Copies of this chain bind each other. A is one copy, B any other.
């Protein structure tokens, strides 16, 4: 894969500016935590695993310029940084998990001095970065067994290299299957309102020479009725202990349509996307974003001024509609509290 979504380069988080794709491939260099917060908020970086890594890098950005050896002051700054980054977006749990992994470096090293803590935080961030790369490839390999020659898969939003460090969750399955020589094609739901499917997934998949067809979200049902969809893969932003899964708005729609048309529906997500502290999807906070995302695009107004808008960024798919969850530990078929717990142990 030649896509480097997020990377640490000499004290800076270098990231693809995903708001500019597909027309421009530009990078932003985040040099401080405020810039990282706004990059997450504005979706310059997005995708649950990618914003997990962005969160870890954000913590580094927040503490790396600390001068001196005052440990309590350093810890105060660390906690402030972690708390601040946690306010950027509410739904993807990877962000909180990775921020807490960073925080726990300090909590678990009550004797370390500032210099040591800085080194340990840096090492932890690099570990988080590397683990994402490995975990995605493991998920891809597990999921690839589901793809048979001639299959037409469907995906939503972007759960690809651009949603992770460089490989992807749902799209990682396609990359692994392609490497294994499997022949298949992919339908990409455009994913309104911000068109991550059209802008990002189509960009990635065509770059990787995977046979890709773009559709509007409201066409997926028709494709399924025509028997043109053999399997569906989506990513996830947070998975509850019972398997209920929050993902980009439109995922639940696909899951219901898949059930009706008897199409297998898979989620692809790493352990870091599971939130085992919550028992069901009802407890997942769903981000609502501003109405302008729906009433216009790229400066073009597409709705009358002042019309009310409902714009949830995510929805929750109940576990009962999910054929399986592909994780780095293998595929959890018909997910429930027990098999999730035993697989992720």
What chain B residues lie within 8 Å of A301 (beta carbons)?
A: 22-23
Interface: A299 (CB within 8 A):
yes
Interface: A302 (CB within 8 A):
yes
- Report the stretch among A76-84, A113-121, A164-172, A210-218 that lies at the interface: A210-218
A190 near B298 (CB under 8 angstroms)?
no
Interface: A278 (CB within 8 A):
no
Interface: A237 (CB within 8 A):
no
B302 near A221 (CB under 8 angstroms)?
no
A308 near B218 (CB under 8 angstroms)?
no
A198 near B295 (CB under 8 angstroms)?
yes
Give complex CA distance A202, B307 in Å: 7
A216-269 interface (Cβ within 8 A of B): 216-223, 225, 249-250, 252-253, 256-257, 259-260
A89-147 interface (Cβ within 8 A of B): none
B206 near A304 (CB under 8 angstroms)?
yes
- Report the stretch among A8-16, A55-63, A309-317 that lies at the interface: A309-317
- List the B residue with the shortest CB-CB distance to A314: B222
Interface: A199 (CB within 8 A):
yes
Interface: A297 (CB within 8 A):
yes
**What is the CB-to-nearest-CB distance from A292 to chain B, in angstroms, rounded to a whole number?**
12
Considering residues A195, A219, A298, which has the most beta carbons from chain B within 10 angstroms of its beta carbon?
A219
B221 near A192 (CB under 8 angstroms)?
no
Residue interface mask A250-294, B partner, CB < 8 A = 1: 101100110110000000000000000000000000000001001
B22 near A315 (CB under 8 angstroms)?
no
What chain B residues lie within 8 Å of A299 (beta carbons)?
A: 300
Interface: A66 (CB within 8 A):
no
A252 near B222 (CB under 8 angstroms)?
yes
Interface: A306 (CB within 8 A):
yes
**What is the CB-to-nearest-CB distance from A33 to chain B, in angstroms, rounded to a whole number?**
31
B214 near A308 (CB under 8 angstroms)?
yes
**What is the CB-to-nearest-CB distance from A232 to chain B, in angstroms, rounded to a whole number?**
14
Give complex CA distance A198, B301 in Å: 10
What chain B residues lie within 8 Å of A206 (beta carbons)?
A: 304, 306-307
A22 near B304 (CB under 8 angstroms)?
yes
Interface: A191 (CB within 8 A):
yes
- List the B residue with the shortest CB-CB distance to A205: B307
Give complex CA distance A344, B303 in Å: 37
Q: Which of B195, B291, B306, B312 contacts A302 (CB 8 A)?
A: B195
**What is the CB-to-nearest-CB distance from A72 to chain B, in angstroms, rounded to a whole number?**
46
Give complex CA distance A302, B195 in Å: 7
Interface: A184 (CB within 8 A):
no
**What is the CB-to-nearest-CB distance from A22 to chain B, in angstroms, rounded to a whole number?**
4
Considering residues A252, A295, A302, A309, which has the most beta carbons from chain B within 10 angstroms of its beta carbon?
A302
- List the B residue with the shortest CB-CB distance to A260: B256
What chain B residues lie within 8 Å of A22 (beta carbons)?
A: 301-304
Give complex CA distance A206, B303 in Å: 11
A and B contact pairs by CB, cutoff 8 A, 21 listed: A22-B304, A190-B192, A191-B218, A195-B303, A198-B302, A202-B307, A203-B303, A206-B307, A212-B308, A213-B307, A214-B309, A215-B310, A215-B311, A216-B294, A219-B249, A222-B252, A222-B253, A225-B315, A256-B260, A297-B298, A298-B302
Given A216-B217, A225-B252, A297-B298, 4 more pairs with CB closer than 8 A: A189-B218, A198-B294, A214-B309, A259-B260
